[in-house]
Amino acid sequence: MSQIELKNLRKEFGSLVAVNNLNLTIEDGEFIVFVGPSGCGKTTTLRMIAGFEDPTSGDITIDGKVVNELEPRDRDLGMVFQSHALFPHKNVADNIAFGLRMKKVKQDEQARKVKEVSELVRITHLLGKMPGQCSGGESQRIALARTLVTEPSNFLLDEPLSSLDAKLRRELRAECDRLHDELQKTFIYVTHDQEEAMTLADRIVVMNQGKIVQMGSPLEIYGDPVSYFVADFFGNPAMNLVEGEFVSGDSGLQFKSPQFTIPLPSKYSQKQPGKGTLGIRPENVTIGATDAAASINREVELVEPLGKDTLLYFETGAERPFVAVIEGTQSVERHANVDVGFPDDAIFLFDETGARIR
């Protein structure tokens, strides 16, 4: 059993507040992912849990015990670093055995465990090599093995995959998932990649400017973002966000952007007019014949066939082009005029401060 609690955790670097009164309970065996843009405080939080940074104020408890004063090695943690941080002067087997040697495990026991763990992450063929002779993906597996072998109750992973190429990243992502399933240990994972967060997490903690913006399962975060920031951060292609104004029209509230005006669903009819943003995920936009209440007629600027799906780009005066995803089997010509529909239940509204209007 191992429960980690962060209580009013705060970290300042000079006048910069990196982490601002963070409160969070991480349950035993949970796969939790801290995600956010660089500088949002996610890595600082992880490093405070590890014991490499001292909190300016607040407590970190593991199993109900405050560990603020404990050295990293006494916290029952394992950590995998972004740079892998393998010891370049020791061969792979010695790298993996390092933690066991430091904990004074017997020689034959060491050898047995190294063998066992290298089978688990499939690197037995690398044991005799030096880290410099291993590829990036192999290095990351070795780094995982080096941490796994000491059998900590909690794993901290600091952007472990960000130095790898896309294909390897997917492969090792699946590996992480498999390991978590097998070990049933707590994984605390930091990434700036929303896709990694979505695929791995039991629970996602979205951070921005040192604060937790939203917490929840991947689907909650994706389907019910609390703010413009979260809505914008998750999803690929990203949510279409059009700035404009909410104005009262004949049949309730309308959304008016410089280029188009659409009526808004009736549940928003009681809301205050004012500046704001309309959001809709590209896969929820309908093209062609639609029964959506709101639709606009637009020229297709660009057609991007991806095989299974096709992306259509429209010009709506926003910073980013407005994107719609349709099935790859449907064919739409470039420069064709089509009806772009906004189904009621797919519309998100955000006020001027970026907060969600429900």
Partner 1 sequence: MAMTKSQRQLNFSIFRYLVLTFWLFIVAFPIFWMVGTSFKPDIEWFAWPPVYITENGTLQNYLVVWADASEYSESVHTQSLQRPWEALGNSTLISLISTTLAVLFGSVLAYGVSRYQILSEGRMFQLLMLRMVPPIVLIAPISIWYRALDLLDSVPGLVMLYFITTLPYAVWMSKSFIDEVPREMEQAAEILGASKWQTIWEVVLPLVRSGLVATFLFILILTWSEYLMALLLSKTNVVTLPIELSKYQGSTEGRVYGRQAALSVGITLPLILVGIIIRKHLVRGFSFGMVRR
Task: Give the CA distances from residue 157 to residues 94, 132, 193, 216, 233, in Å, rounded to whole numbers and listed in that order.
Answer: 21, 22, 13, 19, 21
Minimal distance in Å, beta carbon 106 to partner 1?
15
* Chain mean position to CA 226: 15
Q: Does 78 bind partner 1 (CB under 8 A)?
A: yes
Size of the site for partner 1 (CB under 8 A): 26
Distance CA 230, CA 239 (A): 10
Backbone angles phi, psi at 233, to 5 degrees: -75, -35
Quick one: which of 99, 160, 218, 263 contacts partner 1 (CB under 8 A)? 99
Quick one: which of 81, 115, 309, 311 contacts partner 1 (CB under 8 A)? 81
Between 13 and 87, name the residue whose CB sits nearer to partner 1: 87
Q: Does 88 bind partner 1 (CB under 8 A)?
A: yes
Distance CA 193, CA 236 (A): 11
Cβ contact 58:7 at 8 Å: yes
Q: Does 82 bind partner 1 (CB under 8 A)?
A: yes
Q: Which stretch binds partner 1 (CB under 8 A): 80-88, 187-195, 198-206, 300-308?
A: 80-88
Query: Which residue, among 128, 98, 122, 92, has the nearest Cα to 110 in the 3D structure?
Result: 98
Minimal distance in Å, beta carbon 82 to partner 1?
8
Q: Does 307 bind partner 1 (CB under 8 A)?
A: no
Between 88 and 307, name the residue whose CB sits nearer to partner 1: 88
Q: Does 146 bind partner 1 (CB under 8 A)?
A: yes
Between 116 and 301, name the residue whose CB sits nearer to partner 1: 116
Between 128 and 307, name the residue whose CB sits nearer to partner 1: 128
Minimal distance in Å, beta carbon 81 to partner 1?
5
291: which 2 tokens?
A: 């029964």
50: which 2 tokens?
A: 């590890």
327: which 2 tokens?
A: 């099935």
Q: Which stretch binds partner 1 (CB under 8 A): 94-102, 164-172, 218-226, 346-354?
A: 94-102
Cβ contact 254:271 at 8 Å: no
Q: Which stretch binds partner 1 (CB under 8 A): 68-76, 202-210, 263-271, 331-339?
A: 68-76
Q: Does 132 bind partner 1 (CB under 8 A)?
A: yes
Distance CA 12, CA 249 (A): 49
Quick one: which of 40, 48, 50, 230 contacts partner 1 (CB under 8 A)? 50
What DSSP letter does each residue of 185-250 carry, written as one string? -EEEEEES-HHHHHHH-SEEEEEETTEEEEEE-HHHHHHS-SBHHHHHHSTTTTPEEEEEEEEEET
Between 22 and 143, name the residue whose CB sits nearer to partner 1: 143
Distance CA 329, CA 116 (A): 48
Cβ contact 212:22 at 8 Å: yes
Minimal distance in Å, beta carbon 79 to partner 1?
5
Quick one: which of 67, 77, 176, 190 contacts partner 1 (CB under 8 A)? 77
Q: Does 137 bind partner 1 (CB under 8 A)?
A: no
Residues forming contacts to partner 1 in the complex (CB under 8 A) are 50-52, 71-73, 77-79, 81-83, 85-89, 98-99, 102-103, 131-132, 146-147, 150
